[in-house]
Chain A
Amino acid sequence: MSVWVYGEQKSELGLEGTITRKLEEDLYEVFIGPQHPGSGHMRIIIRIDGDIIVEADPDMGYVHRTMEKLSEGREWIKNVPLFERMAIHDACNVTVSYVMALERILGIEPPPRAKYLRTLLCEINRIAAHLYGFGIFGVFIGHSTMYMWSFADREVMVELAEKLTGARLTHSYPIPGGARRDMPQDFPQAARKAVRYFRRRLDEYRKIFLDNPVTRKRLEGVGIIPKKIAAELGVVGPVARASGIKYDARLAEPYDAYDEVEFEVPVYEEGDALARAWVKFEEIKQSLRIIEQAVDWLEKHPREAPIHERFWAKAPPLWKKVFEAEGRVKLLPLMANLKLPPGRAMARSETARGEIVYYVESDGKTTPYRVRIVSPSARNAIVFKYIAPGYKVMDLPTIYGSIDYFPPEADR
C-alpha cells in the first residue's frame, strides 16, 4: 500500500498534511477502540471485506507508563509496587519473577515457608485473574451471567488475598529474600472454605458457560492457532497451551514451591477459543489443588520468619518482638536501601495470562541499571495481526476475550 499525502500544495509550503493510506476498493475500515465497549484500552484497526476481516492492526500503547524507564530511577524494592500496576489483579504472579531475578543476583534463596506463602498467593491471584478473564470473555460474547458470576466470585479470592496480605489487589507481597508477612491464624479455614465453594461453583460455570450450546457454537473453531504457528508467534500461557504446546514456566523452571506441590498443566490440542476457555477453567481447578496443598504445608510446619536469615539477622529488635508475639513480619527497614552486587539475571514466572520474563541488570547501585519486562499480553498481541484475519467481525471479541488480552499489562 502506498502512502498518500493529502494536499500537495500544503506539503510544498512545508506543512505536513494528514498521512492517509488509500484503501483497496470494497474494503471497509473500522477503528475499534479505544473508546469502544468492546476494545479495552487499545485500538484494533480492522479492514473488512463484507463481514470478513482481511487485515487487523493492533494499535497499543494507550495505557503505556514506561515502566522500564521509571524503574531505573527507583530503589530495587520500590519497583515491586510499580510493576504490580501492570496487572493489579495478578500482582503476585507479575512481581514474583522480578523478585526472583533480584534473588539470583543476590545469590540467596528464600526460606521454604516464604516459598509456600508466595505460591499460595500466586495461585489465589491466578484464580482471581482467570475469573476476571472469564468475566470479560462472557460480556464480550454477550453472556452477562458469566460476567456477573465470575466478578462476584472473584471477590472470594480477593478477600482471601486480603486476609493473607492486608491488601485486596496490590499486595506487594514478594520481596527479595522472602515474603512480606506470614498468614494469619485463621487463614487455613478460610482458604479451605473458599476452595470448597469454588469446586461447587466451577461445576455451575461449566453448565452455564462452557457447555452452553450457544457459547460452544460461538467459540468452536474460532481463532484457531495451530501448534506450529503458536510456537512461531511465540504466544504464551493458556493461548499456547490450548494449541498443544506443553509449556508452563512453573514446569520449565520450577520456582518457589512449585517443584514440591502436585499439579497438572492442562494442555488442549484444538487451539480454538473454546480450548483456551477450557484451559483457563482447568487451571482454576489445579490452582485450587495447589492452594490446598500449600495451606496444609503451612499449617503443619512451625512458623518461622518468612525471610532469608541474612536479612532477618539484621532486623531491628522491635521486628523480632512483633514476630514472636503475633507471628507476623513487617517489611524490614534495610530493604529501602538494598544494594545489589553488579550482575545480570533473568527470571520467568507463569502469570494467569502466560509467562512473564524479566531481565535485570545491576551495576552495584541502589537502583537498577536496566530492567526489561516482557509481559504475556505483549507477546500475545501478535495474535490479532496474524490470527484474526479470515474470521468474521463478530469473531473479533471472541478472539480478544479468549486470548485474555489485558492492555495495561501489554503496554507496561
Chain B
Amino acid sequence: MMAGIIDLILSIIFYPPIYQLVLVGLTGALVVVIFIIWFERKATARVQRRLGPYHISPRLAGLPQLVADLIRYAFQEVIIPKTVDKELFVLAPIVATVLSILPIAVVPLTSNPAYWPIPMDYSMLVALALTTVSPIFLIVAGWASNNKFSIIGGVREAFVITAYELIAIMSILSASAAVLSFNLVDIVEAQRIWYILLNPIAFLAAFLAVLMATSGFPFEIPESENEVVAGPFTEYSGLLYGLNMGAAYMKRFAFSILIALVFLGGWSPFTPGEGILSGYLIPSLIVVAKATILMMIFSLTRSIYGRFRLDQALEGAWRLVFPMAVLGFGLALLEAYLGVM
C-alpha cells in the first residue's frame, strides 16, 4: 500500500512535463531570473555611473540582493483594498505567473526521446499557444483592482498584446515553415546553420515582439510609472506585487528558451547521447545558457532607451515589425522551396 503511494508520487514527480516544469521551469527560471535581474541592475548601474546593488554580500557584488528582495516581498503585508474584486485580485497575479512559465513544460531540451516532456509532433504550436494565455490575467488584474490607473494600464496591456502576439507567433512559426514541421526537435536538428543566420528578419521581429511582450524598455508602456503609477499593479503590494513583477521575467525566460531553440540552434554544437548527463543535463544547460545570454541582451535596452508612446509603439509594431514578420515568413517559405534547411 505504502509502496504504491510512493510509486504514485514518484511517477507524478518523474512524469516528464512535471519535472521539466519544476526543474527547468521553476528552479531554473528562478536562478536565471535572479541572475538576470542582478545583471540588469549592475549593467544599468555601470552605464549610469553608479554602483548598483552592493550591500548584500559585497564579495558577490550584490548578487543575492534579489533573494533579499524576494524575502522582503514574501513577508510584506499583502494589502487587499476594500474596493477590489477580491477573488480575481488575488488569483490574477498567481495564475499569470504560473501560466507564463507553462510553455517550458512542453519544450524539448534534448533530442533524446527518453527526456521529452510530451510527444513532440506539435510541440511548437502548444508552446506558442501557452505563451498567449498569461497576458489576459494582467488585464484581469487591472480590471479587478478597480482603480483608474490600473484600468488604463490594463487597457494599454490589451493594446500591446494585440500588437505583439501575432508578430511573435508568426516570426517563430516561420521556422516551422522552413523545416515543414511543428516538431521543435526537428527544427533544432535541422539547423546545420543556425536559423538566425538564415532568417535574421524573423529573428529581429521575434526579438522585438518579446521585448514588447515582457515590457522591455522602449516598450515599457503598461507599467509606465509617470502616467499610470504601476499600471495594472498599482493596487498590489507584498508578495502579489512581487509575483506580478516576476511574471514578466518568467515570461521573458520562456520566450528566450523558445527563441534559443528555434533561432540559436538549441543544444548545438553538442549532440545529446544516452544517459541523464549527456542526454538531458548538458543539452538543457546549453539551451538555458543561450536563453540567458539572450535575456542579458534584452536587459541592456533599459539603460539606452526611454519609452515609446503607446500609439508609437503600436504603429511601429503594425507598420514596421509586422511586415517584417511577414517578410520573415516569406523568406522561410522561400528557403523551404529552395531546400536550404
Using CB atoms and an 8 Å cutoff, list the residues of chain A in contact with chain B.
28, 30, 32, 36-38, 51, 138-146, 148-149, 152, 208, 212, 214-215, 217-218, 392-397
Task: Please report whether the interface of chain A is mostly helix, strand, loop or mixed according to DSSP.
Answer: helix
B309 touches A145 (CB 8 A): no
CB distance from A186 to the nearest CB of B (A): 26
Q: Which residues of B contact A208 (CB under 8 A)?
A: 304
- Whole-angstrom distance between the alpha carbons of A394 and B221 in the complex? 9
A51 touches B312 (CB 8 A): no
B312 touches A38 (CB 8 A): no
CB distance from B187 to the nearest CB of A (A): 33
Cβ-closest 8 pairs across A and B: A38-B226, A148-B48, A142-B307, A143-B306, A397-B226, A142-B306, A141-B306, A214-B305
A395: nearest chain-B partner, CB-CB: B309
A400: nearest chain-B partner, CB-CB: B226
A-B contact count (CB 8 A): 82
- Whole-angstrom distance between the alpha carbons of A44 and B47 in the complex? 34
- A28-B148, A30-B152, A142-B220 given; A37·B229 CB < 8 A: yes
Excluding A37-B226, A141-B226, A212-B306, 6 further A-B contacts by CB distance (< 8 Å) are A142-B307, A143-B306, A145-B303, A217-B309, A393-B227, A394-B310
Q: Which residues of A contact B217 (CB under 8 A)?
A: 142
- Give me 28 A-to-B residue pairs in the complex whose CB atoms sit less than 8 angstroms apart, sorted by A's number: A30-B149, A30-B152, A32-B227, A37-B226, A38-B226, A51-B310, A51-B311, A138-B306, A139-B226, A142-B224, A142-B307, A144-B44, A144-B302, A145-B303, A148-B49, A148-B50, A152-B49, A208-B304, A212-B304, A212-B305, A214-B305, A214-B308, A215-B305, A215-B306, A217-B309, A218-B308, A218-B309, A397-B227
Interface magnitude class on chain B: 20 to 34
B227 touches A396 (CB 8 A): yes
Q: Which residues of B contact A152 (CB under 8 A)?
A: 48-50
- Whole-angstrom distance between the alpha carbons of A394 and B312 in the complex? 11
A144 touches B303 (CB 8 A): yes
Which chain B residues numbered 278 to 305 have a C-beta less than 8 Å away from chain A?
302-305
CB distance from A109 to the nearest CB of B (A): 44
With beta carbons under 8 angstroms apart, the residue of B149, B224, B229 that contacts A394 is: B224
- Whole-angstrom distance between the alpha carbons of A152 and B51 in the complex? 12
- A212-B304, A214-B218, A393-B152 given; A144·B309 CB < 8 A: no
A31: nearest chain-B partner, CB-CB: B148
- A142-B220, A145-B48, A152-B49 given; A392·B226 CB < 8 A: no
Is residue B77 contacting chain A, with contact meaning CB distance below 8 A?
no
CB distance from A25 to the nearest CB of B (A): 17
CB distance from B162 to the nearest CB of A (A): 15
Q: Which residues of A contact B50 (CB under 8 A)?
A: 148, 152
Is residue B225 contacting chain A, with contact meaning CB distance below 8 A?
yes
- Whole-angstrom distance between the alpha carbons of A396 and B217 in the complex? 19
Q: Which residues of A contact B229 (CB under 8 A)?
A: 36-38
A214: nearest chain-B partner, CB-CB: B305
CB distance from A223 to the nearest CB of B (A): 12
Q: Which residues of B contact A218 (CB under 8 A)?
A: 306-309, 312
- Whole-angstrom distance between the alpha carbons of A338 and B66 in the complex? 59
A46: nearest chain-B partner, CB-CB: B227
- Whole-angstrom distance between the alpha carbons of A152 and B310 in the complex? 30
Q: Which residues of A contact B49 (CB under 8 A)?
A: 148-149, 152
Which chain B residues numbered 207 to 253 have a C-beta less than 8 Å away from chain A?
217-218, 220-221, 224-227, 229
B230: nearest chain-A partner, CB-CB: A37
Pick the most buried of A148, A152, A215: most chain B CB atoms within 10 A of its CB.
A148
- Whole-angstrom distance between the alpha carbons of A142 and B305 in the complex? 8
- Whole-angstrom distance between the alpha carbons of A393 and B44 in the complex? 28
CB distance from B315 to the nearest CB of A (A): 10
B47 touches A394 (CB 8 A): no
A214 touches B306 (CB 8 A): yes
A142 touches B226 (CB 8 A): yes
- Whole-angstrom distance between the alpha carbons of A217 and B310 in the complex? 12
With beta carbons under 8 angstroms apart, the residue of A32, A144, A394 that contacts B48 is: A144
- Whole-angstrom distance between the alpha carbons of A145 and B49 in the complex? 9
A214 touches B307 (CB 8 A): yes
CB distance from A412 to the nearest CB of B (A): 25
Q: Which residues of B contact A395 (CB under 8 A)?
A: 309
A209: nearest chain-B partner, CB-CB: B306
A392 touches B225 (CB 8 A): no
Pick the most buried of A36, A139, A146, A395: most chain B CB atoms within 10 A of its CB.
A36
